[in-house]
Amino acid sequence: LFPKSVCVSANEVICHGIPDDRVIEDGDIINLDVTVFVHGMHADLNETFFIGNVDADSRMLVRTAFDCLKNAIEMVRPGTMYRDLGTAISKTARKNKCSVVTTYCGHGVHELFHTAPNVPHYARNKAVGSM
């Protein structure tokens, strides 16, 4: 069993959606956030999927989120400041007429779940540390 290991977020739910009896429908965008606990370490990852015929705005939103992630990953190397990732992500989002949610952030892989380093996805954040 894997209790509490998958969050399912539909459409406007930003993240950490709890699966319920809602039926997934044509045109939905669904984000799966999968958590693992291996060798005493917590980690998670997520991916967004199109269900059937998804409208152009939803496709653009998901594409922009992917581009934000890709641009941040391209910066990953020793010495990169965690706060600089948020600047790159915000720039990509703005270029595509999107905004960045400031309530949630990325995080490290650790013995504790959702812990340091915190990696905000927005510009002008105060994240400390470097890779």
Instruction: Report, as an integer, the average pLDDT of 112-119.
Output: 87
**pLDDT value, residue 3:** 64
Residues 86-100 as b/e (b if ≥16 CB within 10 A, e otherwise) read bbbbbebbeeeebeb
Contact in structure between 118 and 82 (CB atoms under 8 Å): yes
> Mean per-residue pLDDT for 39-44?
90
Mean pLDDT for 79-88 is: 97
State the first-to-last Cα distance of the chain, in angstroms, to the nearest integer: 34
Q: What is the pTM of this model?
A: 0.87
Residue 1 pLDDT exceeds 70: no
Q: How many CA atoms lie within 13 A of 40 on its CB side?
A: 1
Q: Is the separation of the CB atoms in 25 and 36 below 8 Å?
A: no
Percent of the chain exceeding pLDDT 70 equals 97
